[in-house]
């Protein structure tokens, strides 16, 4: 799940060179030879200035109008020299919800195109605010059933609108919502949970109705694997090699911090200071409030839930493997590509049957399970890869759900695409980790212990009967819950990577069907993943739907391999095989 989120406008510009991990020319094969760097900027760079000027010079295409200001979020520089500048927009000094856009330039900084969220020019919101901030806060608190916090006047340009509104933060017992209230009519325009929950309210209700209990098997720690002990370093803190005795992936090596002779902390100095802490049952959204995990033997956990550190070892392993996947594959330095640590808190809340990506603390929050439906902490590897990918999406396209029901279930294609990308890259984390205790596969949540044996799967999404995931696009997909709707693009990705029909990979049997029995021959997971990542970071925005995702991946394939390439043609065929084509593109819904 995701929430409408406006990042602060005082954001440094990240400049990424060869951020897809593709060295050399535009048509080079995937490689890890590219170099990515993040740089802060106190003022606009030449690239940003050129993109801003181009946006106004090509206003009919970009939708930028008088009164707009463009705030740079990041700049991506491709190996062949193309530039992509992502902007958030203010209008009349007010942040614009749904106003984000990416301006594309060539190596000479000439305008080549735009990817935009709002398909119309953002005009000054009609009327003046009739509600006061206090009145808007009261309406928001009532809608989200909590206490109102910050209130900000914005322009809501989503869904073709141009309305003056208040954006209100509402919190309740460790959870929070972002509520948008019309400043003229008082109508609640949206009410979205801030946290990104792995398990939707709809799924939890389904499991409860079925009386299903998920009790995942935990690994048996191998004997004889011990921590490194004191490193002998004279200066502290220093890096040390420890051992995690995890619940799900056996005994694993962990890089930790030796704080003094014979004392260690579960914090990885080699990965920006990435750290896991113990929430000790609290529902805090402040990482600093979590308890540091320390010991004197550099061995974390015992492979069982009797040690609080076992779940922490799983979480630290999953977070570091996710970071390593993104850095090794795309040269991405951290979740937001800013060389900052990824963080997590285990034992969050009491009897919480979920795991979250929480934008408020920019960290992972792991519940211990409710002891009924879920009997163990939700710290399995692909859950972590999935949730941290939501952080990557937030830092790039920031895909948003279209609407949310009163129970917190989210709907709409951009939200479904967000869930799909989290599944796609979450499964890639497993392939990257190559852990024998968690065999890499195209299944999501297969270690959760569900009777279905998995939560979702990419090859044949509709085999997921719990969420009712769909294989193909239809006009009804717009109204589908995001986890169920994710099957459309997840299926397209699998077909692009592996092709249609029967296939066995790593001992797992797959049999991927297609719309109207279109045969697809895959191009391989490496190329498919490079295309989807490039599409996300260059050509997707907060409102991207499945047909626009098709266009984005075609542009990415053209960049990487050429418009006449097999890769480009297979992207087109993979989307056709899930019934997403140029011919059936729906008209805008306003």
**Cα 534 to Cα 415: distance, rounded to the nearest angstrom:** 19
125 to each of 46, 63, 180, 184, how far by Cα in Å?
32, 15, 15, 10
Per DSSP, the chain holds a count of helices (H) and strands (E) of 12, 28
The token duo for 359 is 């934008």
**Cα 92 to Cα 203: distance, rounded to the nearest angstrom:** 42
Cβ burial, residue 134 (10 Å; 0-12/13-18/19+): exposed
Strands 94-97 and 147-156: parallel
* CB contact set of 351 (below 8 Å; sequence gap of 6+): 367, 368, 369, 370, 371
Residues 386/456, Cβ–Cβ less than 8 Å: no
Cis peptide before 237 (omega within 30 of 0): yes
DSSP class per residue in 499-547: -SEEEEETTEEEEE--GGG-------HHHHHHHHHHHHHHH--TT--HH
Beta-carbon-side half-sphere exposure of residue 3 (alpha carbons within 13 Å) = 26
**Cα 544 to Cα 551: distance, rounded to the nearest angstrom:** 10
Q: Catalytic annotation on 347?
A: no
Strands 274-278 and 343-346: parallel
Q: Which of 88, 197, 285, 387 is catalytic?
A: 387
Q: Which residues pair with 147 in a beta bridge?
A: 171
**Cα 73 to Cα 396: distance, rounded to the nearest angstrom:** 8
260 to each of 143, 184, 295, how far by Cα in Å?
50, 60, 11
**Cα 510 to Cα 502: distance, rounded to the nearest angstrom:** 6
Alpha helices in 397-539 (DSSP H): 413-433, 482-485, 487-498, 525-539
Q: Catalytic annotation on 419?
A: no
Q: Which of 386, 483, 491, 498 is catalytic?
A: 483
**Cα 295 to Cα 326: distance, rounded to the nearest angstrom:** 30
Q: Which residues pair with 295 in a beta bridge?
A: 264
**Cα 539 to Cα 163: distance, rounded to the nearest angstrom:** 26
Output DSSP code: residue 180: E
CA dihedral 244, 248, 249, 252 (to 10 degrees): 0
CA-nearest of 177, 174, 171, 179 to 194 is: 177
Q: What burial letters (b/e) apply to 176-206, b meaning 16+ CB within 10 Å?
A: bbbbbbbbeeeebbbbbbbbbbbbbbbbbee
Strands 403-404 and 410-411: antiparallel
**Cα 444 to Cα 246: distance, rounded to the nearest angstrom:** 19
DSSP class per residue in 73-109: EEEEE-TTS-EEEEEEEEETTEEEET--EEEEE-TT-
Residues that are catalytic: 387, 483
């Amino acid at each position: 799940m995701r929430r409408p989120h406006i990042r602060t406008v005082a954001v440094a510009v990240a400049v990424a060179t060869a951020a897809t991990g593709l060295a050399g020319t535009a048509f080079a094969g995937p490689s890890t030879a590219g170099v990515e760097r993040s740089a802060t900027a106190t003022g606009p760079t030449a690239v940003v200035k050129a993109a801003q000027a181009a946006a106004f010079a090509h206003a009919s295409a970009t939708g930028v109008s008088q009164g707009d200001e463009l705030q740079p979020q990041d700049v991506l520089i491709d190996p062949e020299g193309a530039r992509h500048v992502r902007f958030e927009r203010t209008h009349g000094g007010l942040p614009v919800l749904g106003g984000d856009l990416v301006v594309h330039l060539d190596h000479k900084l000439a305008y080549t195109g735009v990817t935009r969220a709002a398909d119309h020019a953002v005009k000054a919101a009609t009327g003046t605010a009739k509600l006061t901030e206090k009145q808007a806060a009261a309406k928001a608190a009532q809608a989200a059933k909590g206490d109102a916090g910050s209130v900000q006047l914005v322009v809501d340009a989503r869904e073709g609108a141009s309305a003056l509104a208040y954006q209100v933060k509402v919190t309740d017992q460790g959870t929070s919502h972002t509520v948008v209230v019309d400043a003229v009519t008082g109508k609640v325009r949206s009410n979205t949970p801030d946290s990104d929950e792995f398990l939707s309210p709809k799924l939890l209700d389904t499991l409860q109705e079925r009386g299903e209990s998920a009790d995942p098997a935990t690994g048996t720690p191998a004997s004889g694997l011990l921590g490194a002990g004191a490193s002998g370093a004279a200066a502290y803190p220093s890096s040390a090699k420890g051992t995690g005795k995890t619940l799900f992936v056996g005994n694993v090596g962990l890089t930790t911090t030796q704080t003094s002779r014979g004392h260690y902390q579960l914090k990885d100095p080699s990965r920006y200071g990435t750290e896991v802490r113990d929430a000790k049952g609290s529902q805090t959204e402040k990482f600093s409030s979590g308890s540091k995990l320390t010991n004197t033997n550099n061995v974390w956990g015992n492979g069982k839930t009797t040690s609080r550190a076992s779940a922490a070892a799983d979480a630290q392993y999953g977070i570091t493997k996710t970071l390593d996947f993104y850095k090794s594959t795309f040269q991405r330095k951290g979740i937001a590509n800013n060389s900052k640590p990824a963080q997590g808190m285990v034992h969050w809340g009491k009897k919480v049957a979920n795991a979250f990506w929480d934008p408020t603390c920019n960290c992972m929050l792991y519940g211990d399970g409710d002891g009924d439906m879920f009997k163990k902490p939700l710290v399995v590897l692909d859950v972590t890869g999935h949730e941290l990918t939501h952080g990557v999406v937030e830092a790039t396209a920031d895909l948003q759900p279209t609407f949310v029901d009163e129970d917190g279930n989210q709907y709409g294609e951009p939200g479904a695409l967000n869930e799909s990308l989290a599944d796609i890259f979450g499964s890639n984390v497993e392939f990257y980790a190559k852990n024998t205790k968690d065999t890499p596969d195209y299944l999501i949540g297969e270690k959760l212990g569900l009777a279905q044996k998995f939560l979702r799967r990419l090859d044949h999404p509709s085999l997921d009967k719990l969420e009712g995931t769909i294989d193909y696009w239809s006009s009804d997909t717009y109204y589908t819950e995001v986890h169920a709707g994710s099957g459309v693009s997840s299926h397209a990705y699998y077909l692009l990577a592996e092709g249609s029909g029967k296939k066995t990979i790593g001992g797992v049997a797959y049999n991927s069907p297609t719309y109207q029995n279109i045969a697809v021959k895959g191009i391989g997971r490496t190329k498919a993943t490079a295309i989807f990542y490039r599409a996300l970071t260059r050509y997707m925005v907060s409102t991207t739907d499945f047909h626009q995702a098709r266009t984005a991946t075609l542009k990415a394939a053209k960049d990487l391999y050429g418009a006449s390439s097999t890769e480009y043609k297979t992207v087109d065929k993979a989307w056709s095989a899930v019934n997403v084509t140029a011919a059936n593109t729906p008209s805008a819904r306003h």
